Structure 1
Amino acid sequence: MSQTFSIGLIGARGYTGRELLKLIAGHPAFALAFASSRELAGTPVSAMAPEITGVDFEALSPQEAAARRPDACVLALPDGAGAAFVAAFEAAAPDTVLVDLSADYRFDDAWAYGLPELYRQREGLAGARRIANPGCYATAAQLALHPVNQIIEDYPSVFGVSGYSGAGTTPSRKNDTDALAGNLMPYALSGHKHEHEVTRHLRRPIAFTPHVHPAFSGILVTVHARLSQPVSLDAVKALYDEAYAHEPLVQVQDAAPELKDGTGINGAIIGGLTVIEDQRRLVVLCAEDNLLKGAAVQAVQNLNLALGLDELAGITADR
């Protein structure tokens, strides 16, 4: 690739920041412009990401970051923390592509929603300047439901389990390895933000219950959905095969994936397709890594599309 794009990273300290640094370092057309972290300011980036040398973490204000005018910038900040950076870029560098990893803009129609594998999403992502990266659970749930969305009735039920890295680095019971040892911890029993996100973007309400367990990373969702009419298992499999036949990051298989199957892979695995009760109820599972397809890999997909690159530049398919 002849052109190199400068990429800024705000909120580089977290688990997703580490994955993003690795992906940026290995990308044939990306160069790290800066990595901002108050806690790590002055520390070489190589201390976290040995792939990147000669760059230190910085504590950049929103105005300082925008003044660097990178080609693109990823905001890997907690919910509610990125608005000042967005405002600064709007004022000083409106052409910079912003990819926000928080939930702040997933409900904002002015921002493209960055789940490329959903129907026609790529049309809105090509050349986009403001992209809301989907949530990790929301990605898995939508990939599981998308091929059959038009033949479902009522509320699909989504049971989700993730590793504790999904709870971030701020100490809590959800990332306390002692509290999690030998345990499965339910939380947000109703109204989780990813429940609202999936409902909005699939235009279908769902019931979602997340859980965290002692593994570091990985997500597994189990979906139960009632079908609007009897449909054979072969017909359901055909819908999934058709939807994802040309999606290198989505693998469809017969066997039910386990949580560990999604850990460390760049894409997602869908399987365990089962039709029961007079062909009116469907079970399907989806496994992915919450830090990769659930966050960093998807952000790089979105950057590639926005910058006019091949969608999988810098990303290795798992199959």
Structure 2
Amino acid sequence: MLTVGLVGARGHTGKELVAILSRRDDMRLVFASSRAMAGEPVSNLAAQARGDLMFEAMGPEDIAARGADAVILALPNGEAAPYVAAIEAAAPGTILVDLSADYRFDDSWTYGLPELYGRERLKGATRISNPGCYATAGQLCVHPVRDLLAGPAHLFGVSGYSGAGTTPSRKNDVEALKDNLMPYSLTGHMHEREMTRHLGRTVCFTPHVAPFFRGIVVTAQLKFSSQCSREMLKGRFEKAYGGQRLIRLSDTIPEIRDGQNTPGAVVGGWSVDKNDFYAVVVCALDNLLKGAAVQAVQNLALAAGLDEFSGIA
């Protein structure tokens, strides 16, 4: 039984993590840290949680002293470092899975997107950076054809407002979003740099937030250096993802609803222009699941040598 602690449990992703961990018989959630909900039953957030599990207000040293086999950090960007430092000082063998962007550019951490960068490299890993939600969808669109690209991959992304977290802002204000589509971070978005780094190809990405709660669609515009027919394009993706349990390929264009509340991703559309040098591929996934909680549990399970899909699919 792998004992797991969760830091930043009150957020949308925290709720999904509690639910997934509660469905597994080889992992046990032993504490959930949230100052805002301290003293409340975790089941108030996620009904699947054990009735005796309570939210606790815990600092970095408190987390490190609890001695869990693994800790999942579901904190905003920029807040992970004190927890990492405390755990490395007191219990360096603890498996850490960080859902923020803080360690996605750190070569000493394992970047965990199993379907693209392999499962073997995650076995025994103790420092795992979880990819971003947009970055997961975007890389799924580009990775199988990255060697064909003649220039930057251009990605247009739309996400539900749960991606903006629980801290009030214009990007999760339902009144501001009503009948609206809100572009933001027009250049230099964190996920743009993340995708460029891990794909080894330049990515240009513009995110948008819409008035639905959950789900992501990324539309990738791809220009090739040599001709690539629709059959060749589809074949590339079938070869890359045909055996992947959480990735479904679709001849029709994936939509938000195709990815919502599902543990994996849908990739497809397969549109190629008449000259075969330009293509468009679309990915839909749930930003809270494959874009966050599902992927974190996949990575943790692989690191610990446990069933990757238990509690997930």
- TM-superposed CA distance for 1:158, in Å, is 0.1
1:230-266 alpha-carbon deviations (Å, 9 max, x no partner): 1111111111001001100000110001112111000
**TM-score of the two chains, using structure 1 as the length reference:** 0.97
Unaligned stretches of 5+ in structure 1? Answer: none
User: 2:77 matched to which residue of 1?
Assistant: 79
Q: Does 1:181 align with 2:182?
A: no
Q: Does 1:40 align with 2:67?
A: no
- TM-superposed CA distance for 1:123, in Å, is 2.1
Distance 1:66 1:277 in 2: 59
1:285-316 alpha-carbon deviations (Å, 9 max, x no partner): 00000000000000000010000012212211
Aligned-partner SS, 1:117: helix
- TM-superposed CA distance for 1:277, in Å, is 4.1
Distance 1:226 1:46 in 2: 49
User: 1:287 matched to which residue of 2?
Assistant: 284
Amino acid at match of 2:112: G
1:303 to 297, 300, 303: 300
* Number of residue pairs aligned between Structure 1 and Structure 2: 312
Q: Does 1:261 align with 2:258?
A: yes
Q: Does 1:201 align with 2:194?
A: no
Aligned-partner SS, 2:115: coil
Amino acid at match of 2:71: C
List, as ranges, runs of 4+ consecutive aligned residues in structure 1 with deviation greater than 2 Å. Answer: none
Distance 1:310 1:168 in 2: 29
1:164 to 161, 164, 167: 161
**TM-score of the two chains, using structure 2 as the length reference:** 0.99
Comparing 173-182 with 305-314, greater Cα deviation is found at: 305-314
Distance 1:50 1:257 in 2: 31
Q: Does 1:94 align with 2:87?
A: no
Comparing 51-60 with 158-167, greater Cα deviation is found at: 51-60
2:273 to 264, 273, 276: 276
Indicate the RMSD between aligned Cα atoms, in angstroms. Answer: 0.7
Distance 1:28 1:254 in 2: 37
2:110 to 100, 107, 112: 112
Distance 1:50 1:179 in 2: 30
Distance 1:153 1:103 in 2: 28
Distance 1:275 1:61 in 2: 53
Distance 2:67 2:274 in 1: 57
After TM superposition, the structure 1 = structure 2 runs for residues 202-217 of structure 1, keeping only pairs within 5 Å, are 202-217=199-214
Distance 1:19 1:45 in 2: 12
Amino acid at match of 1:128: A
